[in-house]
Structure 1
């Protein structure tokens, strides 16, 4: 075994740390191996036990590594009202239905790309335009039926 002074530490000099300790061929020390952490995740202890069964190094603390836990917020996609937009475009009011259809498609694209705020805004606008188109379509239908009834009564009573 070479003493540490003879090592070439030119690569490690930038880290301002001493070079690694020499390889120890002593397998007599027991290695702690894996242990269960208090958080319930499987952890591996490095430094106290290496891949060759070497023991802890003098002056070096053991490092415990745990698996990463990612916490994400559950984001539900906003409704796009695509069917409602197609219905209002074909049956109620064509111009407002087309505008609602455009906002519905934009809502679907924003949902797919994860832009929650944009999807919410487009969804609200599509819903508003659909409701307005439905209202306009109902008003036009009521006026049309009223006009037919008035014309029929005028033709029956000359």
Structure 2
């Protein structure tokens, strides 16, 4: 007599696929762009699979949307900060070379 284990319970709503959790984008923007906004994105990305498994498809989709939105904001802020930094360096370098010395 062989024992057959019961099949695992279905994960999420039947016939539905989980929305993308955007976790990779959240992690990358946290590391390379803007840490505070990226962390918020990671928090929302981590909620997607749990909400889907609990049967909350609307909540999973909302968390997915927010994770993507915060990752985009993090990337934009990171690019803006880098551009401002480059502009400050260029301005500082150009103002530093305009001094002249005279000998008496």
TM-score tier, shorter chain, comes to 0.7 to 0.9
More strand by share: 1
Query: What is residue 116 of structure 1 aligned with on the other side?
Result: 57
Query: What is residue 7 of structure 2 aligned with on the other side?
Result: none
Distance 1:118 1:125 in 2: 10
Q: Bigger relative contact order, structure 1 or 2, given CA contacts below 8 A and separation 6+?
A: 2
Distance 2:38 2:87 in 1: 24
Query: What is residue 88 of structure 2 aligned with on the other side?
Result: 147
TM-score, with structure 1 as normaliser: 0.52
Number of matched residues?
87
TM-score, with structure 2 as normaliser: 0.77
Is 1:76 equivalent to 2:6 in the alignment?
no
- Alignment counterpart, residue 128 of structure 1, candidates 62, 69, 82: 69
Query: What is residue 34 of structure 2 aligned with on the other side?
Result: 93
Distance 2:97 2:83 in 1: 21
Structure 2: give runs of 5+ residues left out of the alignment.
Answer: 1-12, 100-104
In our comparison, the structure showing a higher alpha carbon Rg is: 1
Shift of 1:152: 1.0
Structure 1: give runs of 5+ residues left out of the alignment.
Answer: 1-71
Deviating runs (4+, > 2 A) in structure 1?
111-114
